[in-house]
Chain A
Amino acid sequence: MTIGKNLIIILTVFLITNISYAVETKEEFATEKPSIKLHKKSGQSKSMAEDFVRKNKKWKIGLNPRPEDKGGDFFVSVGTSAIAFDNSFANFGDARQDAFDIAFLQSKKQFIKFMGQRISTNIVNERKQGSYAQPPEPGTSEMENLMDEMSSFEEGKKLRTLINLKLDQALRDAGYEDPSTPEAAEEAEKIIKTKEFSKSIEAAAEHRIAGFQTYKVFEISDGNKGDISVIGLWSNKLNLLADALSTGGDIPSGTPKKALMDQIPTQNTDEDIIRWAFSYGARMTTDENGNPSILSFGHASPLFDDVDEWTDACDQAILQAESFIAVFANEIASYKENLNKAQNTKMFEDNANLNNLKSETKQIKNYYKKLETSGYIDTAGSEYLDSIEIQHPASEQALECIAAVGWNTSLRTSGENIKNTNVAAEKITLDDEQETDETKEEEEDEDGTSYSGESDEADDDF
């Protein structure tokens, strides 16, 4: 009788409410604090994400200054997409994944914009302060030395140097023979704001995207319509980890060292099951041996509830997770390689993809396909970690198998040709802003019943 009563209460609560969900990754690397929040309105994941950034984290969307000893400045951006699924729910897993892909692309584009603005500001300031006062003349031995020296430059500096060289040429074309005069600096500010030059800067900014990854995902659904918002984060430390991943160099100090198996959710608690439900795509981490690694999650829906169909769906989810590893690693490696090779900004302009990519599933899939097969890194040997079969809270018909797959650089069989030990890596110090908030909310509000859960605690040496 008590069981019956409980079931009625549960059913009533569940049916009268609408749903929103969120999962985040802890500062740069680890997952933390997934939450589920029941919500009546759809289309609000973006404001929830923005509120989270501004109110909960006290961050800004865009550039966030942070002391160098804590990892330096970082960028936060938000992208949103509707979940386009039909009523059959047979493609529910695909539809959610597609929405995530679009939202993630949007957040990347926003990052490129912010990074571009920062590059422009830095260049203008450097010129005004005279720190770019005596640029080498083209064709001279000084210029040759600079080009040689550039390979050892830190990524951001190299990029700014190449843009400055292009700017010098633009100034000369505009009649400023000496680009270091105050007048030339003023003209440089105007040139840098032109549409054409902005494009070059954004193409260059795109080449700093290695390391950009999902920090937290918000998802809202009323059972029919839903949307996903992705908070993306980029920091120097993440960029250096991306460097280590693509080149086999040292990992930044302070990155977590934990077995990949221990970094995925368990299936033992409700909170962890929710974490599974909202884990998307690929992200960087390190394994217990300190190897730069990628954790990836794939989603697929069975045609209906049946052992054979679940088996097929889980096979699909594993394949999808494996392909995300290849996409993620190759994207990082391709940008890093372009940066290494670049002798001028044309390399960036010719190889910029993201800003021109339409926020459409087909285009994104096509882009992913090209990356997956580009062969910058061989991600063969990825390791299946675990999978879970769930019924999504959005609908009892929405079944999903979610699979987790891991890969680390010790499994890499190629890509060593671009090895370039990252000497700057160990200079980055531990970001000790560990979240220890273990609060569990359960509240009633006018939109319905709200819940929040939490993930595992971050590793001690993170």
Chain B
Amino acid sequence: MPRRTDIKSILLIGSGPIVIGQACEFDYSGTQACKALKEEGYRVILINSNPATIMTDPELADRTYVEPITVEVVEKVIERERPDALLPTMGGQTALNATMELVKRGTLEKYGVKLIGASAEAIHKAEDREAFKHAMQRIGLRVPASGVAHNREEAIKILERIEFPVILRPSFTMGGTGGNIAYNREEFEKIVEWGLAMSPVGQLLIEESLIGWKEYELEVMRDLKDNVVIVCPIENLDPMGVHTGDSITVAPAMTLSDKEYQRMRDAGVRIMREIGVDTGGSNVQFGVDPRSGDMVVIEMNPRVSRSSALASKATGFPIAKIAAKLAVGYSLDEITDDITGVTKASFEPTIDYVVVKIPRFAFQKFRGADPTLTTQMKSVGEVMAIGRTFKESLHKAIRSLELNLNGLSSREGLDRGIPEGLDRQQALERVRQHLRTPIAERLWHVADGMRLGLSNDDLFALTKIDPWFLEQIRELMQFEALLVGQAGKKPAALEESLLWQAKELGFSDDRIAQLIGVTSASVLDQRTKTGQGRRGVTYKRVDTCAAEFEAHTPYLYSTYGSECEARPTDRKKVIILGGGPNRIGQGIEFDYCCVHAAMALREEGIESIMVNCNPETVSTDYDTSDRLYFEPLTEEDVLNIVEREQPLGVVLQFGGQTPLKLALPLSKAGVRILGTSPEAIDRAEDRERFRDLLNKLGLRQAESGMARSVDEALRIASLISYPVMVRPSYVLGGRSMQIVYDESGLLEYMGSAVKASPKHPVLIDKSGVHSGDSACSLPPYSLGQSVVEEIRRQMKALALELGVIGLMNAQFAVKDHTIYVLEVNPRGSRTVPFVSKAIGVPLAKLAMKTMVGKSLPELGLTEAPAPSHLSVKESVFPFNKFPGVDVLLGPEMKSTGEVMGIDQDFGWAFAKAQAGAGAPLPKGGTAFISVKESDRPAALEVVRQLQRLGFSVQATSGTAVYLRNHGVYAEAVNKVMEGRPHVVDHIKNGQVALVVNTVSTASSHADSLSIRREALNKGLAYYTTIRGARAAVMGIEAILKKELTIRSLQEYHHHS
């Protein structure tokens, strides 16, 4: 069937900010969809509030709206652009939910917009728990026993039929938000309340628990001719009970016989037809009882997903791109596979390697969060590795995680055997305890269990991990023991065959060295003397077909085989090192920069070679760069690639901290680092050298002190006065940063921090909100021209002194017209995409070009553009995934993503950013104010304005008295400690529309925690700084007095 000619323009909805459960995989799929639709000649209109995405680059669509994804705004886009069709399946749950709202409101009908990809009925049938259950029963497939509840009473009634433990799943949420496992009535009631609040439709599925069953996923595609293919079966190493996003997953499925697999495949095909997904990809999840092979259907996502991104990367089959083409009428057999150039998309990839995905968590950022893995996703990122065997792939995935782990390192100090005097029984009991509940580190505890003598049966009983996987891990443990047995040997005595075997099993030189007790360099040396050293590694191609057809795309992974398929070219080439797994402090922004670097190189006629291990990203799409190495970003893995490719140089400054860590080892190995020198980077990162730098330039540094001992720390802290922020040097996204409120807090911190970073001193600063978590505005809306000019001057001085080539980011503080330099990062930063979109200049791309020799005048960038519109960035936080965790911000970064609001008016830009971040500003109602003493004068003005805008104001007694003394009436309400009804009761009852709450001491934190938590649960706008509250007031004024207007980036920047 040829492409549809009855539609000319298509609206695509993105997934908005990066949150847990919805990350850059939707930029990957959305970007593919945009490209595919444009390629087909359609006019593409895009809405996405996330500026850090490639899909929102103005070249990717004809009209790009960086606006909040709310029904009102999408409706406005439809009204303005009159698209013929809407493709709702590329933007995750956000896009599906927005689409369903539009259908309900009749917007699509009103403007004659056709839904393509999936109909409203299909979306409903797949997403509504009850409708889905009935659909499955109709085609004779088993689903877990369950019931649907809309309130507490209905929920309790269901308990009469289903025994504990039970699984609770709120409808229409992403990443299983609000879901959990209840083992008893008390937990049950708590989760019911939370889950109902989390579901946008107030619906909850209560389900028989299949904890311990094996879990599988199929990625299924269907076209308008009813052709169906399965792209890839994925098996979860972690059995049912752990969200698939939090599970270690393996492709292809490892423990299904053909009979079982085909039964699952048949079910996948029938589900696709029954649900009625017309075209595109869907994800279906199954549970299989390991004792009987019984199979149940868990759920289906009628859209591209995190798993489809993984399956695409795992097989080379670009699901989103093909789904977009199917949506406009092509059939699978009409689409030719990019990789082979021969096969068609109506083909099931077969792979001759093993893919392992491991999630990356950030519990250390959220003190008090429950680290147990359940049905609600909690991980913030993931890595994928490709190897020829599970063992090799597992090892590669572990070292991709950026956790300073080079293997299945013991957590009990057992790496080199059982130490003398170890209380074995006690260690065993500890490990057993760890294994009983699923946690992020379970894999390593399994390894320790084996070291301490637990059998596969023991471990299966504790974890329900399939014995096949356990046996694979055991083989690695056995080989580790073999290596440990070499201890005492000189490196030169190590046998070639042993080392080769270790490499085949995926051991890094580091790990081999660690186990034997020699240096990593000597292992490499011996491998070079007895074998081929770095050149011993072979690269294989990902080709969708297990080598049956020739692969034309250089999508490569390393292994130790007998044939290398890398076939490097003799072109001029540059290696770009990616950012590794998403985690807090290192997100999609860095991937955005890397992708731009690849584009820039292409424009300059230089071959781009990408190295990265994050399957969610655009950078790991095989057509982003000329060549892609899906590899861990470690010294060894990167140097192997450098050895094979012989590039002009390596680019480190776009991938964030991950590649930056390699600056020294790479330059020591003689690799040319493009752009700013590692020496200059060190000068900016090392606290003392940085101080010298500022002194030399005559710039001011914020009040701070450096402490190498506990005494020194106490002295400096009392000088600066509490609360203070403490941090070690060399950190990313504020890891190990902390606010301490008093002396005891500082003592506790010094105890752990000095342990964490023995060589580096601890820096003590005034506390503030991490820049990555702050809302920000471009251009600055509260600074005078002279201050801006002075900042500009200082920035220039810093850049010239450091010899920056490429990007540099610096943070300044302004107090009473005095400028303080907080920090300088001579590399790509988190704000690059936001700034690029705000000013309409692709900074990362230009930076890459400067690194290969272009000057700024040659690139046409001689002065900074001064846009007349305002751009506001707001951060998005994962607090709703972590009940009980304080939502107060501090110097340690906690946000997972960001949104952007653009408008001619600051108030509106701010309001849009708030709406985009999921906490829209209220238009009226009651504002609750409770501020610390020093904020009271400023609060007065905020309250006056709120009242002027029609808000009534409640305040805690202290604040209320102050306000009244200054002639402003505020109703006094009880603090939680002061008895009921108190403020949290009011919030719970929906009587509060806005919260302003600033705190000063540790004890006032604890008091107000429940206020902030409850405000979050209710999705209220809440502000923990006066500056934030002021901006909110401006935003409220705007939405009350001026009409909403939207504009595309192309219009803002006159691209077309």
Do these two chains really belong together in a complex? no
